[in-house]
A and B are shown apart, each in its own frame.
Chain A
Amino acid sequence: MSDATQTFQNLAPSAGAKFRQRTLPILIFAACLAAIPMVGPSRTFYTIAHQMGINIVFALSYNMILGKGGLLSFGHAVYFGFGGYVAMHAMNWIEDGSGLWAGFPVFFLPLVGFAGGALAGAIIGWPSCRKAGTTFAMISLGVAELVFAAAFMFDSFFGGEQGISGDRMNGVELFGLSMGPISEVYWFIAFWTVVGLVGMWAFTRTPLGKLSEATRDNAQRVQFIGYNPQRVRYLVFIFAGGFAGLAGGMAAVNYEIFTPDAMSLVPSGFVLIMAYVGGITYFVGPIFGAILLTYMQSMLSDFTEAWLLYLGVLFIAIVMFAPRGIAGIVFGIWDGLRGSNPGQYIAGLLMKLAGILLMLIGLIVLVEVSVRWSNGYGEVYEPFGMHLGHQNVLSWLIIVVTAVAGVALTRYASKDKEAA
């Protein structure tokens, strides 16, 4: 028995801990976003940063159902798409200046996207959310295929293959932003990224957010504490759809065009990979995933045509060896460094890193040599001035030696750790 003076509040984290763990990271994130334009970034940087912002919100919304709700969806881009299309149409209504829309600022279009995504979630979620697990996954896949096919039948809403385009420089200006130059759109993206992030974080702190986690852990027990798990899933699904729609609305304003491809299985798969690679058990995981994968998508695809292969390898490696994703790795290292024996931990970690690096070199050489061989243009892979053709014995030697050494080193490092 604890003594009588103890109050119930002692059970919750202290105000200071709350500030450190919850408020501070968001403030730092927002401050970083605010500081970026001061260093005078390039146009390319802005382009990638905008895509990152959109993907952060999109991936976080996906994790509302996968990580927090335990629902694996193969069709989340449907809600992103609906939000985007509704926002796109709204943008055109603003341009027409008809009725109420004449006074609606483009800056607030993501809210329209949220409404569109939530509405789609409310309609499609009704039949889908009765079951979790594989049933849910399969329905989401079927619905995604149906919606994608329907997108080419109803041109007036989806615009056929050309999609729908618009002009964001219309309507009421807010905060002195004409929304024309990319540096002004930056503030728009930054604002809504933070709004989406804070909104979704706040959602995890509500009774519904907690019930969502409870339903993920044990849907049966939820029934016996007075809640209907189907209703919990359904409500969460609507919110996830809404935030995906918010991201869609951001994308509509940023690109000024929306095509049916945005709601196909490809972006649905991509958002799944972003969230999972980032780490679905952590709230921040999908943010890491969105940043890394957006960067890979835009930068790596310039360097190598096999970037999707690297993405596949990365994804499988995460599924097999680090199911808690990048966030799990980051927090794991943090814990290890603060553990009882940081010196030994660092040594093991470095050995592992070296092993992974060796394997990576082997993989890259193998893939790059093969790609050029396969293309047959006579192009040769020449990293650091080396001449690695497919007829060069050195190429294959590097591949085999680094791969074997890498595997051996990583194995040794993990064995060593287990013994310790």
Chain B
Amino acid sequence: MTTPALSLDKLNKSFGPAKIINDVSLDIAPGERHAIIGPNGAGKSTLFNLISGLYTPTSGTVSLHGQDISDMPPHEINKLGLSRSFQVSNIFTNMTVRENVRCGVLHSMGQGYAWWRNIGSNKAVQQKTWEVLEHCSLADKANVPAALLPYADQRALEIAITIAGGADVILLDEPTAGMSHSETARAVDLIRRASEGKTLVIVEHDMGVIFDLADRISVLVYGEIIATDKPEGIRGNAAVREAYLGDEALPEEVTA
């Protein structure tokens, strides 16, 4: 077996007496599209914060390509090739769309904290920025201030910044939350293209999106993973049905 792209081993996180994440272990293979579902308050966002370095685990480890990243600050983890998006649009509001994406590109192009170069004269950075914008269908809005973008485009920009650095493990936190049907379809298309050849971990409430995208699904309930399986297996899992009873029904048949 190859080294998993992302591996969680007996991960725990407590805030005071409250145990939010309880003994979570999970291996995600390179190239896998993995979805995490669960009722509200199950700890999905906390799990993302643990993986991406915003929180430090109380115990247990997170490994990226076999390297322990549990105690690293977020920017170090990002440099190792893990990138994440946020549930609430978390963009640079006073900059244009192009500048937003360019900031995301900078690090991977070896620009570091350079103060001796002109940002506009680096062809490679411009080229990559343009590619990402084009990829996310944002090229025609390149010079619009990010704060003035419509909601769906802000979400697309959120994903654009996340993938701009070329990370090979991508964490998306509810990328389609609050979107209309057609917008969701567009977003799923974008996510599918963006995660081509990469490892994707996605938290999502829209079951249509999940069953459409994911190779495997983990169900998180009260901080514990109660099941990890292929979509068909999850649909037939009794424990999962019980956990979801009265919350939101799993779709019987998924039409993409």
Contacts and interface: CB of A to CB of B under 8 A. Distances in A.
Direct contact of A and B (CB under 8 A): yes
Interface of A: 1-2, 7-9, 11-12, 202-203, 205-211, 213-214, 216-218, 220-228, 231-232, 235, 239
A221 B107 contact: no
Interface stretch (B93-101, B198-206, B236-244): B93-101
B113 interface: yes
Nearest to A204: B119
B106 A225 contact: yes
B218 interface: no
Contacts of A1: 134, 137
A210 B98 CA distance: 12
A221 B126 contact: no
Contact of B120 (A12, A217, A223): A12
Given A11-B142, A210-B99, A225 B116 contact: no
Interface string B139-163: 1101100000000000000000110
Contacts of B73: 223, 228
Interface residues of B, number: 51
Nearest to B167: A226
B156 to A, nearest CB: 15
A205 B121 CA distance: 10
B133 A207 contact: no
B46 to A, nearest CB: 16
B108 A226 contact: yes
26 contacts: A8-B126, A9-B126, A11-B139, A205-B118, A206-B114, A206-B117, A207-B106, A207-B114, A207-B119, A210-B102, A214-B95, A217-B95, A218-B91, A218-B92, A221-B90, A221-B91, A221-B92, A221-B161, A222-B103, A223-B75, A225-B104, A225-B106, A226-B75, A227-B113, A235-B115, A239-B115
B134 to A, nearest CB: 7
B92 A11 contact: no
Nearest to B81: A226
Interface centre among B92, B98, B102, B111 (most CB of A within 10 A): B92
Interface centre among B75, B83, B143 (most CB of A within 10 A): B75
B190 to A, nearest CB: 13
B92 A213 contact: yes
Nearest to A6: B139
Contact of B115 (A207, A214, A216, A227): A207
A213 B119 contact: no
B133 to A, nearest CB: 7
Interface core residue of A1, A9, A221, A224 (most chain B CB under 10 Å): A224
A32 to B, nearest CB: 26
A8 B126 CA distance: 7
Interface in B66-92: 73-75, 78-79, 83-84, 86, 90-92
B130 interface: yes
With a 10 A CB-CB cut-off, give which of A209, A217, A231, A235 has the most chain B CB atoms: A217
Contacts of B95: 210, 213-214, 217
Given A211-B106, A223-B78, A11 B115 contact: no
Interface centre among A2, A9, A205, A218 (most CB of B within 10 A): A218
Contacts of A232: 113
A227 B98 CA distance: 18
Given A209-B115, A226-B165, 9 more contacts: A8-B130, A11-B98, A214-B92, A217-B93, A223-B54, A224-B84, A224-B162, A225-B161, A227-B75
A38 to B, nearest CB: 34
A218 B75 contact: no
Please indicate which of the listed interface residues A8, A205, A226 has the most CB atoms of chain B within 10 Å of its own CB: A226
B113 A235 contact: yes
Nearest to A22: B120
Contacts of B86: 221
Given A207-B119, A208-B113, A8 B79 contact: no
B105 to A, nearest CB: 9
Ranked nearest first, the 9 interchain pairs of A and B with the lowest CB-CB distance are: A8-B130, A226-B107, A223-B74, A217-B92, A208-B115, A226-B78, A207-B111, A11-B142, A207-B114
Contacts of A206: 114-119
B165 A225 contact: yes
B251 to A, nearest CB: 32
B113 A207 contact: yes
Given A205-B118, A207-B113, A217-B95, A227 B107 contact: yes
B129 interface: yes
Contacts of B118: 202, 205-206
Nearest to A215: B92
Nearest to A18: B120
B220 interface: no
A210 B99 CA distance: 8
B127 interface: yes
Q: Which of the listed residues B53, B107, B119, B137 has the most CB atoms from chain A within 10 Å of its own CB?
A: B119
B176 interface: no
Contacts of A12: 98, 120, 126
B7 interface: no
Contacts of B113: 207-208, 211, 227, 231-232, 235
B16 interface: no
B103 A214 contact: yes
Contact of A11 (B52, B112, B130, B161): B130
A11 B143 contact: yes
Contacts of B53: 223
B95 to A, nearest CB: 6
A224 B79 CA distance: 9
B8 interface: no
Contacts of B142: 11
A55 B219 CA distance: 61
